[in-house]
Structure 1
Amino acid sequence: MTSYVLTVDAGLKDLREADHLLQALTAELALSDGTFGCTHLVRDERPRVALSFAVESEAALLSARRRLTAQGHEVTDGAPDEVGRAVLYPGAAGLTGTVTVAELLSRSAIARVTVLGTTEPPAADTAVVTRDHVRPQWQDGELVLAVQPAAGGTLTPFEVPDPTPCCADH
Protein backbone atom coordinates (compact mmCIF):
# COMPACT_ATOMS: atom_id res chain seq x y z
CA MET A 1 0.00 0.00 0.00
CA THR A 2 1.27 3.43 -0.87
CA SER A 3 0.49 5.89 1.87
CA TYR A 4 0.35 9.63 1.88
CA VAL A 5 1.60 11.29 5.06
CA LEU A 6 1.17 14.70 6.61
CA THR A 7 2.19 16.20 9.93
CA VAL A 8 0.13 18.49 12.13
CA ASP A 9 2.02 20.63 14.61
CA ALA A 10 -0.44 22.04 17.13
CA GLY A 11 2.26 22.93 19.68
CA LEU A 12 1.05 20.29 22.14
CA LYS A 13 3.10 19.53 25.23
CA ASP A 14 1.91 16.11 26.39
CA LEU A 15 0.99 12.75 24.91
CA ARG A 16 -2.49 12.50 26.44
CA GLU A 17 -3.50 15.83 24.88
CA ALA A 18 -1.96 14.73 21.57
CA ASP A 19 -3.86 11.41 21.66
CA HIS A 20 -7.15 13.23 22.19
CA LEU A 21 -6.52 15.72 19.39
CA LEU A 22 -5.42 12.96 17.02
CA GLN A 23 -8.60 10.98 17.70
CA ALA A 24 -10.82 14.07 17.41
CA LEU A 25 -9.25 15.11 14.10
CA THR A 26 -9.55 11.58 12.71
CA ALA A 27 -13.28 11.53 13.51
CA GLU A 28 -13.82 15.07 12.26
CA LEU A 29 -12.03 14.37 8.98
CA ALA A 30 -13.83 11.00 8.65
CA LEU A 31 -10.55 9.24 7.85
CA SER A 32 -10.77 5.57 6.87
CA ASP A 33 -10.04 2.59 9.10
CA GLY A 34 -6.81 2.13 7.15
CA THR A 35 -5.42 5.40 8.49
CA PHE A 36 -2.38 5.42 10.74
CA GLY A 37 -2.29 8.25 13.30
CA CYS A 38 0.89 8.71 15.29
CA THR A 39 2.44 11.02 17.83
CA HIS A 40 6.04 12.16 17.53
CA LEU A 41 8.23 13.81 20.15
CA VAL A 42 9.86 16.82 18.55
CA ARG A 43 13.08 17.66 20.36
CA ASP A 44 14.29 21.01 19.13
CA GLU A 45 14.43 24.51 20.63
CA ARG A 46 10.65 24.20 21.18
CA PRO A 47 9.98 20.64 22.50
CA ARG A 48 6.48 19.43 21.67
CA VAL A 49 4.37 16.53 20.41
CA ALA A 50 3.43 16.54 16.71
CA LEU A 51 0.84 14.35 15.01
CA SER A 52 1.14 12.47 11.74
CA PHE A 53 -1.53 10.91 9.58
CA ALA A 54 -0.81 8.29 6.92
CA VAL A 55 -3.82 7.97 4.63
CA GLU A 56 -4.46 5.62 1.72
CA SER A 57 -5.07 8.08 -1.11
CA GLU A 58 -3.87 11.36 -2.47
CA ALA A 59 -7.46 12.63 -2.42
CA ALA A 60 -7.72 11.92 1.32
CA LEU A 61 -4.39 13.65 1.89
CA LEU A 62 -5.40 16.76 -0.06
CA SER A 63 -8.76 16.96 1.69
CA ALA A 64 -7.22 16.53 5.14
CA ARG A 65 -4.51 19.10 4.41
CA ARG A 66 -7.06 21.64 3.18
CA ARG A 67 -9.40 21.19 6.16
CA LEU A 68 -6.63 21.19 8.77
CA THR A 69 -5.01 24.29 7.30
CA ALA A 70 -8.40 26.03 7.25
CA GLN A 71 -8.67 25.30 11.00
CA GLY A 72 -5.38 27.07 11.56
CA HIS A 73 -3.18 24.03 12.10
CA GLU A 74 0.43 24.04 10.89
CA VAL A 75 0.50 21.22 8.31
CA THR A 76 3.53 19.85 6.47
CA ASP A 77 4.07 16.89 4.14
CA GLY A 78 5.70 13.73 5.47
CA ALA A 79 6.29 12.50 9.00
CA PRO A 80 8.61 14.22 11.48
CA ASP A 81 10.55 10.95 11.96
CA GLU A 82 10.31 7.20 11.37
CA VAL A 83 9.62 6.15 14.97
CA GLY A 84 6.14 7.46 15.69
CA ARG A 85 3.97 6.12 18.47
CA ALA A 86 0.82 4.72 16.86
CA VAL A 87 -2.47 5.74 18.42
CA LEU A 88 -4.68 4.87 15.46
CA TYR A 89 -3.91 1.94 13.17
CA PRO A 90 -5.85 -0.85 11.52
CA GLY A 91 -7.29 -3.09 14.24
CA ALA A 92 -6.56 -0.75 17.17
CA ALA A 93 -10.22 -0.42 18.17
CA GLY A 94 -10.52 -4.20 18.64
CA LEU A 95 -7.62 -4.49 21.09
CA THR A 96 -9.66 -4.26 24.27
CA GLY A 97 -9.79 -6.39 27.38
CA THR A 98 -7.53 -9.43 27.36
CA VAL A 99 -6.26 -10.96 24.12
CA THR A 100 -3.55 -13.45 23.33
CA VAL A 101 -0.37 -12.41 21.57
CA ALA A 102 -1.57 -14.35 18.51
CA GLU A 103 -4.91 -12.50 18.50
CA LEU A 104 -3.20 -9.15 18.93
CA LEU A 105 -0.98 -9.82 15.90
CA SER A 106 -3.74 -11.26 13.70
CA ARG A 107 -6.34 -8.57 14.50
CA SER A 108 -4.17 -5.49 14.04
CA ALA A 109 -1.35 -3.87 12.09
CA ILE A 110 1.08 -4.70 14.91
CA ALA A 111 3.80 -6.91 13.42
CA ARG A 112 5.74 -7.90 16.52
CA VAL A 113 5.54 -7.99 20.33
CA THR A 114 8.63 -7.63 22.49
CA VAL A 115 8.90 -8.25 26.23
CA LEU A 116 11.04 -5.75 28.13
CA GLY A 117 14.13 -7.34 29.59
CA THR A 118 14.10 -10.41 27.34
CA THR A 119 15.36 -11.26 23.88
CA GLU A 120 12.78 -13.97 23.14
CA PRO A 121 9.33 -13.15 21.78
CA PRO A 122 6.38 -14.12 23.98
CA ALA A 123 4.49 -17.34 23.30
CA ALA A 124 1.51 -16.92 20.96
CA ASP A 125 -0.96 -18.07 23.65
CA THR A 126 0.27 -15.61 26.32
CA ALA A 127 -2.52 -13.33 27.54
CA VAL A 128 -2.06 -9.56 27.10
CA VAL A 129 -4.19 -7.40 29.40
CA THR A 130 -4.57 -4.37 27.13
CA ARG A 131 -6.15 -1.92 29.61
CA ASP A 132 -7.75 -0.64 26.37
CA HIS A 133 -4.55 1.30 25.68
CA VAL A 134 -2.23 -0.26 23.08
CA ARG A 135 0.41 2.11 21.68
CA PRO A 136 2.97 0.35 19.48
CA GLN A 137 5.89 2.23 17.94
CA TRP A 138 7.36 2.14 14.46
CA GLN A 139 10.70 0.32 14.40
CA ASP A 140 12.43 -0.44 11.11
CA GLY A 141 9.20 -0.02 9.17
CA GLU A 142 6.97 -2.22 11.32
CA LEU A 143 4.73 -1.62 14.33
CA VAL A 144 6.21 -3.14 17.48
CA LEU A 145 4.43 -3.34 20.83
CA ALA A 146 6.60 -3.34 23.96
CA VAL A 147 5.00 -5.26 26.82
CA GLN A 148 6.00 -6.09 30.37
CA PRO A 149 5.33 -9.08 32.61
CA ALA A 150 2.25 -8.76 34.83
CA ALA A 151 0.40 -10.79 37.47
CA GLY A 152 -0.53 -14.37 36.72
CA GLY A 153 1.88 -14.85 33.84
CA THR A 154 0.13 -12.24 31.71
CA LEU A 155 1.62 -9.28 29.88
CA THR A 156 0.56 -5.62 29.74
CA PRO A 157 1.58 -2.90 27.31
CA PHE A 158 4.53 -0.98 28.72
CA GLU A 159 2.76 2.37 28.33
CA VAL A 160 0.07 2.86 30.97
CA PRO A 161 -3.17 4.61 30.04
CA ASP A 162 -3.15 7.18 32.87
CA PRO A 163 0.40 7.86 34.03
CA THR A 164 0.90 9.76 37.25
CA PRO A 165 2.62 13.06 36.48
CA CYS A 166 6.02 13.60 38.04
CA CYS A 167 5.77 15.26 41.44
CA ALA A 168 1.94 14.86 41.48
CA ASP A 169 1.87 14.95 45.26
CA HIS A 170 3.73 18.26 45.59
Structure 2
Amino acid sequence: MTSATSAASGQPSPTPYVIGVDTDATSLRDADHLLRELNTGLGLPEDVFGCTHLVAGGGRRRVALSLAARSRVVIDVARDRLRAQGRTVTDGAWDAEGRAVLYPGAAALTGTLTVAELLERSAIERVRVLGAADPPDPATRLVTREFVRPHWQDGTLVLAAMPHIGGTLVPFEDPDPTPCCAGH
Protein backbone atom coordinates (compact mmCIF):
# COMPACT_ATOMS: atom_id res chain seq x y z
CA MET A 1 0.00 0.00 0.00
CA THR A 2 2.90 2.36 0.48
CA SER A 3 4.31 2.28 -3.02
CA ALA A 4 3.06 2.66 -6.55
CA THR A 5 3.66 -1.02 -7.24
CA SER A 6 2.10 -4.03 -5.59
CA ALA A 7 4.79 -6.21 -4.03
CA ALA A 8 2.82 -9.36 -4.77
CA SER A 9 2.27 -8.86 -8.48
CA GLY A 10 4.64 -6.16 -9.61
CA GLN A 11 1.58 -4.49 -11.14
CA PRO A 12 0.64 -0.87 -10.50
CA SER A 13 -1.06 -0.49 -7.14
CA PRO A 14 -4.68 0.69 -7.20
CA THR A 15 -3.75 3.29 -4.54
CA PRO A 16 -0.35 4.85 -5.28
CA TYR A 17 -0.94 8.05 -3.27
CA VAL A 18 -0.82 7.55 0.49
CA ILE A 19 -0.58 9.82 3.53
CA GLY A 20 -0.17 8.99 7.20
CA VAL A 21 -2.10 10.86 9.89
CA ASP A 22 -0.77 10.86 13.44
CA THR A 23 -3.36 10.65 16.22
CA ASP A 24 -3.71 10.45 19.96
CA ALA A 25 -6.06 7.45 19.66
CA THR A 26 -5.05 4.58 21.92
CA SER A 27 -7.67 2.03 20.86
CA LEU A 28 -8.79 0.62 17.54
CA ARG A 29 -12.37 1.65 18.35
CA ASP A 30 -11.31 5.28 18.88
CA ALA A 31 -9.20 5.22 15.70
CA ASP A 32 -12.09 3.73 13.68
CA HIS A 33 -14.37 6.50 14.95
CA LEU A 34 -11.80 9.20 14.13
CA LEU A 35 -11.22 7.78 10.65
CA ARG A 36 -14.95 7.81 9.91
CA GLU A 37 -15.22 11.37 11.24
CA LEU A 38 -12.33 12.51 9.05
CA ASN A 39 -13.83 10.72 6.05
CA THR A 40 -17.14 12.51 6.52
CA GLY A 41 -15.51 15.89 7.15
CA LEU A 42 -13.19 15.61 4.17
CA GLY A 43 -15.89 14.30 1.83
CA LEU A 44 -13.60 11.57 0.49
CA PRO A 45 -14.75 9.50 -2.49
CA GLU A 46 -15.84 5.88 -1.95
CA ASP A 47 -12.71 4.45 -3.58
CA VAL A 48 -10.41 5.78 -0.84
CA PHE A 49 -8.76 3.34 1.54
CA GLY A 50 -8.57 4.35 5.21
CA CYS A 51 -6.49 2.18 7.52
CA THR A 52 -5.41 2.00 11.13
CA HIS A 53 -1.82 1.25 12.16
CA LEU A 54 -0.47 0.35 15.60
CA VAL A 55 2.50 2.66 16.25
CA ALA A 56 4.92 2.66 19.18
CA GLY A 57 7.41 5.26 17.95
CA GLY A 58 8.09 8.64 19.42
CA GLY A 59 7.87 7.39 22.98
CA ARG A 60 4.13 6.72 22.88
CA ARG A 61 1.84 3.92 21.79
CA ARG A 62 -1.06 4.94 19.61
CA VAL A 63 -3.20 4.01 16.62
CA ALA A 64 -2.30 6.13 13.60
CA LEU A 65 -4.19 6.37 10.32
CA SER A 66 -3.46 6.27 6.63
CA LEU A 67 -5.48 7.40 3.63
CA ALA A 68 -4.79 6.07 0.15
CA ALA A 69 -6.30 6.91 -3.23
CA ARG A 70 -5.65 6.52 -6.93
CA SER A 71 -5.90 10.27 -7.33
CA ARG A 72 -3.08 12.52 -6.24
CA VAL A 73 -5.55 15.42 -6.15
CA VAL A 74 -7.74 13.63 -3.58
CA ILE A 75 -4.74 12.96 -1.33
CA ASP A 76 -3.30 16.46 -1.79
CA VAL A 77 -6.63 18.05 -0.82
CA ALA A 78 -6.98 15.69 2.18
CA ARG A 79 -3.40 16.49 3.28
CA ASP A 80 -4.01 20.25 3.06
CA ARG A 81 -7.32 20.07 4.94
CA LEU A 82 -5.88 17.83 7.66
CA ARG A 83 -2.89 20.13 8.16
CA ALA A 84 -5.26 23.12 8.33
CA GLN A 85 -6.98 21.28 11.20
CA GLY A 86 -3.61 21.08 12.98
CA ARG A 87 -3.05 17.38 12.30
CA THR A 88 0.41 15.91 11.69
CA VAL A 89 0.42 14.41 8.19
CA THR A 90 3.27 12.58 6.47
CA ASP A 91 3.74 10.99 3.06
CA GLY A 92 3.24 7.22 3.02
CA ALA A 93 1.61 4.80 5.44
CA TRP A 94 3.01 3.85 8.84
CA ASP A 95 3.60 0.30 7.62
CA ALA A 96 2.50 -1.98 4.79
CA GLU A 97 0.11 -4.00 6.94
CA GLY A 98 -2.69 -1.56 7.72
CA ARG A 99 -6.09 -2.63 8.98
CA ALA A 100 -8.68 -1.35 6.50
CA VAL A 101 -11.73 0.43 7.87
CA LEU A 102 -12.63 2.39 4.74
CA TYR A 103 -12.32 0.62 1.40
CA PRO A 104 -14.35 0.25 -1.78
CA GLY A 105 -17.44 -1.83 -1.12
CA ALA A 106 -17.18 -1.84 2.69
CA ALA A 107 -20.70 -0.45 3.08
CA ALA A 108 -22.14 -3.36 1.07
CA LEU A 109 -20.78 -5.97 3.49
CA THR A 110 -23.79 -6.44 5.73
CA GLY A 111 -25.75 -9.44 6.91
CA THR A 112 -24.73 -12.88 5.70
CA LEU A 113 -22.92 -13.19 2.38
CA THR A 114 -21.13 -15.95 0.58
CA VAL A 115 -17.37 -15.63 0.30
CA ALA A 116 -17.86 -15.09 -3.44
CA GLU A 117 -20.29 -12.20 -2.80
CA LEU A 118 -17.88 -10.61 -0.31
CA LEU A 119 -15.07 -10.71 -2.87
CA GLU A 120 -17.36 -9.43 -5.66
CA ARG A 121 -18.77 -6.52 -3.68
CA SER A 122 -15.59 -5.17 -2.12
CA ALA A 123 -11.89 -4.49 -2.56
CA ILE A 124 -11.11 -7.57 -0.43
CA GLU A 125 -9.14 -9.94 -2.64
CA ARG A 126 -8.83 -13.01 -0.44
CA VAL A 127 -10.37 -14.68 2.62
CA ARG A 128 -8.08 -16.68 4.89
CA VAL A 129 -9.64 -19.03 7.46
CA LEU A 130 -7.56 -19.33 10.60
CA GLY A 131 -6.23 -22.85 11.02
CA ALA A 132 -7.10 -23.90 7.47
CA ALA A 133 -4.51 -24.59 4.79
CA ASP A 134 -6.86 -23.94 1.87
CA PRO A 135 -9.06 -20.95 1.04
CA PRO A 136 -12.77 -21.36 1.85
CA ASP A 137 -15.23 -22.57 -0.75
CA PRO A 138 -16.72 -19.52 -2.52
CA ALA A 139 -20.22 -20.72 -1.51
CA THR A 140 -19.36 -20.68 2.22
CA ARG A 141 -21.55 -18.20 4.08
CA LEU A 142 -19.90 -15.42 6.10
CA VAL A 143 -21.82 -13.64 8.87
CA THR A 144 -20.42 -10.10 8.65
CA ARG A 145 -21.76 -8.76 11.97
CA GLU A 146 -21.56 -5.44 10.03
CA PHE A 147 -17.88 -5.30 11.02
CA VAL A 148 -15.41 -6.41 8.34
CA ARG A 149 -11.80 -5.27 8.90
CA PRO A 150 -9.38 -6.83 6.40
CA HIS A 151 -5.61 -6.27 6.57
CA TRP A 152 -3.06 -5.54 3.86
CA GLN A 153 -0.71 -8.51 3.37
CA ASP A 154 1.94 -8.34 0.65
CA GLY A 155 -0.06 -5.73 -1.25
CA THR A 156 -3.32 -7.73 -1.06
CA LEU A 157 -6.37 -6.92 1.05
CA VAL A 158 -7.08 -10.10 3.05
CA LEU A 159 -9.90 -10.85 5.48
CA ALA A 160 -9.05 -13.23 8.31
CA ALA A 161 -12.08 -15.31 9.21
CA MET A 162 -12.83 -18.12 11.62
CA PRO A 163 -15.35 -20.96 11.72
CA HIS A 164 -18.72 -20.16 13.26
CA ILE A 165 -21.91 -22.05 14.00
CA GLY A 166 -23.70 -23.96 11.25
CA GLY A 167 -20.68 -24.17 8.97
CA THR A 168 -20.53 -20.40 8.51
CA LEU A 169 -17.58 -18.07 8.96
CA VAL A 170 -17.24 -14.77 10.82
CA PRO A 171 -14.53 -12.12 10.51
CA PHE A 172 -11.79 -12.80 13.04
CA GLU A 173 -12.00 -9.35 14.61
CA ASP A 174 -14.94 -9.10 16.99
CA PRO A 175 -16.92 -5.82 16.84
CA ASP A 176 -17.46 -5.91 20.62
CA PRO A 177 -14.39 -7.50 22.18
CA THR A 178 -14.28 -8.28 25.88
CA PRO A 179 -11.65 -6.09 27.51
CA CYS A 180 -8.64 -7.93 28.88
CA CYS A 181 -9.15 -9.05 32.48
CA ALA A 182 -12.80 -7.88 32.42
CA GLY A 183 -13.87 -10.60 34.85
CA HIS A 184 -11.18 -9.84 37.43
Deviates more, 1:40-49 or 1:12-21: 40-49
TM-score by length of 1: 0.96
**Percent of aligned positions that are identical:** 62
Q: Deviations over 1:4-39 (max 9, x none)?
A: 111111121000000000011011101011100000
CA RMSD between the two structures: 1.0
Shift of 1:169: 3.7
Specify the code of the residue in structure 2 equivalent to 1:77.
Answer: D
Partner SS for 2:36: helix
Say how many residue pairs are matched. Answer: 170
Answer 1 or 2: which has greater strand percent: 1
TM-score by length of 2: 0.89
Which runs of 4 or more aligned residues in structure 1 lie more than 6 Å from their structure 2 counterparts after TM superposition?
A: none
Matches within 5 A, 1:1-170: 1-44=14-57, 45-170=59-184
Q: Is the 8 A contact 2:17 2:68 kept in 1?
A: yes
Specify the code of the residue in structure 2 equivalent to 1:128.
Answer: L
Distance of 1:155 and 1:58 partners within structure 2: 37
Gap runs ≥5 in structure 2 = 1-13
Specify the code of the residue in structure 1 equivalent to 2:127.
Answer: V
Gap runs ≥5 in structure 1 = none
Shift of 1:167: 2.1
Distance of 2:103 and 2:76 partners within structure 1: 20
Q: Is the 8 A contact 1:111 1:142 kept in 2?
A: yes
Partner SS for 2:29: helix
